[in-house]
Structure 1
Amino acid sequence: MAKVTFGNRQAGILCNLPTERRLDLIAEGLPVILASAESFWTAAASLTQAPREARVLEGFAEEEAAKILILMDLVRCPPKLVASLSGKIVRTFYDHLGRLIYGDAQSWRPVDVAQLRDYVDNTRQGHYLEGYAGEYIVPNWSRYSREAAMYADIEVLDNGSAHWSEPLQFGSVRRPSEPAALMLGKAMAAVGMFTRAGLQAVAEVWGEVEFVDTQGYTEQEKLTQAMFERLDAAQVVTEAASADHVRLLRHYWQLPMYHLDFKEAAVPLETLQADREAQLWAEAGYGPEYG
C-alpha cells in the first residue's frame, strides 16, 4: 500500500532529489525559515508582561534558526555521503531536541569532530543525575525546559510519586541575548549564502573535506576563507554584509555535524541507579567495596 506523501513535514524529499534540484529547493526555503525565526523573535519582544509566553516564542525562534544550520550541514555534506546521511539530517530537522542541541552547539569550542561528538552525546542523554552527590534522576534539561514552559502535565518523580506541574514560569522579563543560531542565519543571508550561487559555493568548497573525527579548526578556517572568496567572486555578498557577519561565521559557525547522532539516548534506570550509588560512595570518601 502506497504511503500518502502530501502535506507538510515532507523535507524527506530532499534525500531523493538530484544535487542541483536539492540546492534549488534549499535556496528557496532558507529565506522563508529565517523570516519565520525573526518573526517569532520580534513577537516575543512585545510580551513584556508575559515572560513565560515570550520565552516560548524565543524558543520557537531558536529552533527555526537551527533548521537553517541543519540544512547548511546537508549542503556541506560531501556528495559521496549525501545518500547515506541525508535521512538522518532530515530527521534532526524535525526533532525538537536535535534542533535545540544544534542551537546550543554554536557556542561550543571543540578541538575536533571527535570531541564535538562527545559533547553532543552527553547533551542528548534522556536522563542524568543532579544534586550535591547525584541523588536526583532528572530528564534531559533541554527537552524538559521546552515542554515545561509550554504545557501543564503530570510528572512522576524518581520516588514514584505523581503530581500535576503547572507551566514553568519565568520570574524576570529581561530578554536573553539573541540566539547564536539566529545571528548566524542572518549573517549567512547577508554574505550571500542563501542565494543559489552562494549555496553552490558552500557545497563545492565544504564538500571537499569529510568532517568525521580529527578534522577541526585548521580545516574549518581554511574552508571558511575559501568560501568567502567564492562568495565574493560570485558577487552574491549583499550591501548589508559587515565585518561582524564575517566574524560570526568564522568563530561561531560550528564544525559540520552531519556525522553526529542527535536522537535522544535512553539511559537504563539500572545504569542511573548504579552511577548514583557510586557518586554517593565517592562523596562519603569510600569506594563501593566498603558498603
Structure 2
Amino acid sequence: MLCNMPRAAQLDLLAEGLPIILKSAQGFWNAAVQLSDHSREARVLEGFCEEECAKIVILMDLVRCPKKLASSRAGKLTSVFYDHLGRLIYAEAQNWKPVNLAQLREYVDHSREGHYLEGYAGEYIVPNWSRYSRESTLYADIELHEDGQPYWNEPTQLGAIALGIPPPVLSLAEAMSALGLFDRRGLQAVADVWNQLEFVGTENFEDSRRLTGELFDRLDAEQLVTEAATDRHPGWIQNNWQMPMYNLEFREIPMKLSDLKAQQEAMLWSEIGYERGDY
C-alpha cells in the first residue's frame, strides 16, 4: 500500500498510525511489568513491545528516506515491517555504535545470517540468535541437533525483566512522540531535514546528529514539542536513533552446511596454530 502512495499521502497515513503503534507497544510493556512471577510470559510481552517499536523506527526510516528514493525503498521497508527477523534487527540496531554506515551494514549482515558458529573453536553450529531466542521463548517445539537427532524444546525460562526498565527502543519511540515527530507537521519536518543527505556508506553518526539538531530547531520553531517532553527526550533521539537503514538489506542470509563445516575446520586449525594446507 505505502509503495503506491504519493509522499504526502504516506505522511498522512503515518501520522495517523504511529501513535497507534506506540500505544500498542506501551500496552505490551505495561502488561509485562505486572508479571514479576512469570518471567517467560513477561519476556514474551517485552519482545512484542520491542517489535512494535521496531515498526515505528522502520516507518521513520521511510520518512527519513530522500524524496528521490522514497518510492523505490517503500517496498523494501514494508517487507521489513512485516518480517520478524527484520524487526528484531531494527530494534537491536538502535543500541549499536558503528563508525559509519558501512560498518553498520556489516553489523546488520552478520545479524541476518541464518546460522553461524559458536564455541572456543567454532565447534557449535547455531541458528540465528535473534530469531531463535524469540521462538524458543514463545513455543514448545521439536528441534534438531547438528547430528540430526530430534529433541523437544521447552520454552526458555528467562530471568525477570531488568528492574522494570523499559526497552531502549521504547524509550526512543516515546521521545519521538513527546518531541512532536509523530505530528503530521513533525513528519514533514523529518522528511525535509533528512532529504538533504542519502546514507550510503561513508556517512556517519555525526552526520546523523547534525541533521537531528536541525530537526530539533525546526520542531521548536513550529511549536510541535508536546507538554509530555522532558529534558531527557532530546538526548534519547540524539544518542539512540540509529543512522537511516533504508539502503541496507534485512532478508535472512541462508548459510550452507558445507560452508559452515569449512569455517569450522579453518577455525580449528587456526586455534592449534596451523593454516590449512600446512600439514
Pick the TM interval, shorter chain.
Answer: over 0.9
The aligned counterpart of 2:31 is: 43
Aligned-partner SS, 1:137: strand
Change (3 A) 1:121 1:239: same
What do you get for the CA RMSD once the two structures are aligned?
1.2
C-alpha contact (below 8 Å) 1:103/1:179 kept by paired residues: no
Q: Which residue in 2 is equivalent to 1:58?
A: 46
8 Å contact 2:18–2:56 — kept in the other structure?
Answer: yes
In structure 2, what is the Cα distance between the partners aligned to 1:53 and 1:239?
A: 34
Q: 1:194 to 1:173 in 2, by over 3 A?
A: closer
TM-score, length-scaled by structure 2: 0.97
- In 2, the alpha carbon distance for the partners of 1:180 and 1:173 equals 13
Deviation of 1:217 (Å):
2.2
Counterpart residue type for residue 207 of structure 2: E
Confirm or deny that 1:276 pairs with 2:270: no
Question: Following TM superposition, by how much is the alpha carbon of 1:16 offset from its aligned partner in structure 2, in angstroms?
Answer: 0.8
Change (3 A) 1:189 1:151: same
Q: Residue 133 of structure 1 aligns with which residue?
A: 121
Aligned with residue 33 of structure 1, among 21, 40, 44: 21
Q: What is the aligned counterpart of 1:160 among 141, 148, 156?
A: 148
Change over 3 Å in CA distance of 1:177–1:134 after alignment to 2? farther
1:172 Cα offset (Å)? 4.4
Q: Deviations over 1:108-153 (max 9, x none)?
A: 1111111100010011110000111100100000000000000011
Contact 1:34 1:68 in 2 (8 A): yes
Alignment match, 1:217 = 205
Matched, 1:99 2:87: yes
Structure 1 residues 80 and 130 mapped into 2: Cα distance closer, same or farther (>3 Å)? same
Identity %: 57
- In structure 1, C-alpha distance between the alignment counterparts of 2:81 and 2:41, rounded to whole Å: 24
The total of aligned residue pairs comes to 279
Query: 1:128·1:272 contact (CA, 8 Å) conserved in 2?
Result: yes
Q: Does the 8 Å CA contact 1:149/1:168 hold for their aligned counterparts?
A: yes
Equivalent runs, 1:236-247 vs 2, <5 Å: 236-247=224-235
Between the aligned partners of 1:154 and 1:38, the Cα distance in structure 2 is: 33
Map 1:162-181 onto structure 2 (within 5 A).
162-172=150-160, 174-175=162-163, 177-181=165-169
| Mapping 1:110-121, distance limit 5 Å | 110-121=98-109
Question: Is the CA contact 1:37–1:60 (under 8 Å) kept in the aligned structure 2?
Answer: yes
Q: What TM-score do you get using the length of structure 1 for normalisation?
A: 0.93
Alpha-carbon separation, structure 2, partners of 1:201 and 1:289:
59
**1:50/1:173 contact within 8 Å kept:** no
1:128 is paired with a residue whose SS is: strand
Q: Which residue of 2 aligns with 1:4?
A: none
8 Å contact 1:190–1:241 — kept in the other structure?
yes
2:76 matches 1:88: yes
Runs (4+) off by over 4 Å: 171-176
* Structure 1 stretches lacking a partner, 5+ long: 1-12
Distance 1:241 1:173, change over 3 A: closer
Contact 2:113 2:252 in 1 (8 A): yes
- Cα deviations by residue, 1:132-179 (Å, 9 ceiling, x for unpaired): 110010000000000000001111111111111111112446546321
CA distance in 2, matches of 1:72, 1:21: 15
Q: Which amino acid aligns with 1:191?
A: L
Distance 1:246 1:210 in 2: 23
**What is the letter of the counterpart of residue 24 of structure 1?**
D
Equivalent residue for 2:196? 208
Q: Distance in 2 between matches of 1:23 and 1:176?
A: 33
Distance 1:83 1:240 in 2: 33
- SS for the counterpart of 1:222 is helix
- SS of the residue corresponding to residue 189 of structure 1 reads helix
Structure 1 pair 60/283, CA: closer, same or farther in 2 (3 Å)?
Answer: same
Contact 2:140 2:155 in 1 (8 A): yes
Q: Cα gap change, 1:202/1:48 in structure 2, threshold over 3 Å: closer, same or farther?
A: same
1-structure distance, mates of 2:166, 2:179: 19
Tell me the CA shift for residue 206 of structure 1: 0.4
1:98 and 1:175 map into 2 onto residues whose CA distance is 27
